[in-house]
Structure 1
């Protein structure tokens, strides 16, 4: 939720400054609008409001309306990619997972890509690999039943690559859920412990932890 609050505060600051200063500063209304819509998307947990299409591209209106936010997100991802000493991806029980990759970084033999980003377009090199888009906002998640439904059809797939922007929160949640679905782990804590052996920086938000617990409860119920 802090992402939404931060975006809202920045939107109000930029918008207010633009209206007070006038003239060329009115151009600041564009990033202010971009931040405002992003903030509302976070508050309402509506990742599709950012315009991500099922094929991994972003809608034309998303570039027009949310261009400043998208550009900022791409720039942050690029800078963190250059500065990070962490391996771009890890492997566990037949699953590859990590951050958003460039064309030269994709591991060989990948036949399925699960993209969890809502704010970034998927590189073309990854869209042809049995691509599945499950957009989530950073630090947020889907409802447990929706997540299980979306993952059930791909849970048994081998040579799968799961990623979000940096491969920590959203990726950790989905990989842990896949481990539970596959029976590789029996509890959320066991799933996360396995993940931490190969990617220690994985950290889930409180909401993501709660969703993972709900996934485990859903899978253990007789109806599942």
Structure 2
């Protein structure tokens, strides 16, 4: 999604509206209504996901990873579309669902089933705002950092995730950081965590380390900007020497 989520969803909205208008001209008024509704939902998501607005809370994802009933109904054209698209894309992909970056630290895509989870019952950092937590996968703790696809968590959210993960690592609990596919949002948070744990000097070296393990990652300018801001204002001191937690 190099052109950005808001542009693609905006195009989807326009396409759905044209289908609605075409069906209306043919006299299929009742059949056309769902296309109008889906078009309006897509337009709303397109606006809310634009970098100048960036409002992932629009979808109402709860801190436990669930979605309230009102959201599942209101945003069903978008929420169920992205779930289906994610499953189909993963079926066609030859990429592993997750990759171990360093011992006990994993980055990857949405775990739609227990088979998509790393071993060791890891603590989970979920960087999606559009995909649900699978409650049959309990994990050793769960943190939601809701972020639109192709967007980046803000520096404060990155810092909170890093501090949470460091506490888990101090208890020798493995960590799994995921977004939809393990290419952008989750990679940004993993870069910051690697710096905080020690072993890499900055997020750029962390990105190289992750790419060695997961070649198809692709952070964009927004991810890199968030990491630069986090690096300048971070509160969590890096671990060095004997204190490094790799």
- Give 1:167's match in structure 2, choosing from 164, 182, 192: 182
Note if 1:212 corresponds to 2:246: no
Superimposed CA distance per residue, residues 11-54 of structure 1 (whole angstroms, 9 cap, x where no aligned partner): 23423542564302122112112201211220211111112111
- Tell me what 2:69 maps to: 60
CA contact (8 A) 2:159 2:236 kept: no
Which whole-Å deviations, capped at 9, do the CAs of 1:100-155 have from their partners, x for residues lacking one? 12212322212311111111111112345311111111111122133213431322
Change (3 A) 1:10 1:92: closer
CA–CA distance in 1 between the matches of 2:66 and 2:19?
33
**For the pair shown, which has the larger CA radius of gyration, 1 or 2?**
2
RMSD: 2.1
**Residue 182 of structure 1 pairs with residue 182 of structure 2:** no
Flag the 1:73–1:152 CA change in 2: closer, same or farther, 3 A: same
- In the alignment, does 2:39 pair up with 1:32? yes
Pick aligned residue for 1:92 from 88, 101, 117:
101
Q: In the aligned structure 1, how far is the partner of 2:162 from the partner of 2:203?
A: 16
Distance 1:63 1:17 in 2: 23
* Structure 1 residue runs without a partner (length 5+): none
**Does structure 2 conserve the Cα–Cα contact (< 8 Å) formed by 1:116 and 1:171?**
yes
Q: TM-score normalised to the size of structure 1?
A: 0.90
Show structure 1 runs of 4+ deviating over 4 A: none
Whole-Å separation in 1 of the counterparts to 2:107 and 2:215 = 12
Residue pair 1:55, 1:127 contacting (<8 A) in 2 also = no
- Give me the TM-score of the superposition, normalised by structure 2: 0.83
Aligned with residue 81 of structure 1, among 87, 90, 108: 90
Instruction: Indicate conservation of the 8 Å contact 1:110/1:161, yes or no.
Output: no
Corresponding position of 1:111? 122
State the alpha-carbon separation in 1 of the partners of residues 40 and 211 from structure 2: 38
2: CA distance, partners of 1:172 / 1:144: 14
Q: Indicate the SS of the match to 2:99.
A: strand
Mapped partners of 1:127, 1:51: distance in 2:
21
Work out the CA distance in 2 between the residues paired with 1:50 and 1:220. Answer: 30
